[in-house]
């Protein structure tokens, strides 16, 4: 497998392998040992959905040293994580909605881990065997609310606040990938996953010692420096080396 997406045509929702812009429909369990149709399906009327349906969205904070610096916060000794509402998911091409006029709402480009097997208390050395793949995401944040509350769930869980996709790349090394965000064509975030304080395998291991992870669960690995506000009409593009870009607009 390589790039895997989730799609809808009419009333049918299905997974497919994406090869040179063509879709080859999946047969069997996407997290098992699936096979794929030999002929691509017609693209007319096909809609791209978020690539997985997670039981949990786990977000990690302050996991890039440069972002901790710009935020004026100490580097954590252990991963700092919280949960986001699955109802906040938004597919590639969807519109991010700002809920309150006058609030500052920020973009945050992130590499996202997709879990492929049920896991609990897994070591970092074994973590790769439990990861299905990686995709692009954004942890959109209402900063006005974040600064007024101790808990971060509300400020990050509004509908449309978790763009994800468009596809899961199953064959990629996550440890040295460029990650960028462009706002209306202007480069705003520009980093590399080698600057992660806790790498992907360490995150998966640590989280699995606290929470049982299930196939399809996603882990947002943190954002780099360069965060900034969004406004209606913006076009946001997350570009991560080896992944299909994630593009969303704001209204």
**Per-residue confidence (pLDDT) for residue 120, from 0 to 100:** 98
CA angle 175, 29, 14 (to 5 degrees): 95
Top-tier CATH class for 3-48:
mainly beta
Domain 3-48 shares a fold with domain 57-250? no
Question: How far is Cα 248 from Cα 148, in angstroms, rounded to an integer?
Answer: 27
Whether residue 1 is predicted with pLDDT greater than 70 in this model: the reply is no
Q: Tell me the CA distances in angstroms from 55 to 12, 156, 216, one per residue in order.
A: 21, 17, 7
Question: How far is Cα 31 from Cα 38, in angstroms, rounded to an integer?
Answer: 20
* Mean pLDDT for the chain overall: 95
Contact in structure between 205 and 123 (CB atoms under 8 Å): yes
Question: How far is Cα 48 from Cα 36, in angstroms, rounded to an integer?
Answer: 18
pLDDT per position as a tens digit, 89-103: 999 999 999 999 999
**Per-residue confidence (pLDDT) for residue 86, from 0 to 100:** 98
Overall fold of domain 57-250: Fumarylacetoacetate hydrolase; domain 2 (3.90.850)
**Per-residue confidence (pLDDT) for residue 207, from 0 to 100:** 98
Q: What is the DSSP letter of 226?
A: -
**Per-residue confidence (pLDDT) for residue 66, from 0 to 100:** 72
Return the domain boundaries, the chain: 3-48, 57-250
Question: How far is Cα 190 from Cα 154, in angstroms, rounded to an integer?
Answer: 27
**Per-residue confidence (pLDDT) for residue 63, from 0 to 100:** 94
pLDDT per position as a tens digit, 146-200: 999 988 999 999 999 999 999 999 999 999 999 999 999 999 999 999 889 999 9
């Amino acid at each position: 497998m390589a790039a895997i997406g989730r799609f809808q045509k009419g009333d049918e929702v299905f997974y497919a392998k994406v090869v040179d812009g063509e879709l080859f429909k999946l047969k069997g369990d996407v997290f098992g040992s699936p096979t794929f149709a030999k002929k691509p399906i017609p693209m007319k009327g096909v809609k791209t959905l978020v690539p997985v349906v997670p039981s949990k969205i786990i977000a990690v904070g302050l996991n890039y040293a440069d972002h901790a610096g710009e935020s004026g916060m100490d580097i954590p000794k252990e991963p700092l994580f919280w949960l986001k509402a699955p109802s906040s998911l938004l597919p590639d091409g969807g519109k991010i909605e700002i809920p309150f006029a006058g609030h500052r709402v920020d973009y945050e480009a992130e590499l996202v881990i997709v879990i492929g097997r049920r896991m609990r208390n897994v070591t970092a050395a074994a973590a790769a065997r439990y990861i299905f793949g990686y995709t692009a995401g954004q942890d959109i944040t209402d900063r006005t609310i974040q600064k007024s509350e101790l808990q971060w769930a509300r400020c990050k869980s509004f509908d449309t606040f978790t763009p994800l996709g468009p596809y899961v790349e199953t064959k990629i090394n996550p440890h040295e990938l460029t990650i960028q965000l462009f706002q209306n064509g202007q480069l705003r975030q520009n980093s590399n996953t080698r600057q992660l304080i806790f790498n992907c395998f360490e995150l998966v291991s640590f989280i699995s010692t606290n929470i049982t992870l299930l196939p399809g669960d996603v882990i947002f690995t943190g954002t780099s420096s360069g965060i900034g506000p969004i406004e209606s009409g913006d076009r946001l593009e997350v570009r991560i080396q080896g992944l299909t870009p994630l593009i969303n607009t704001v209204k």
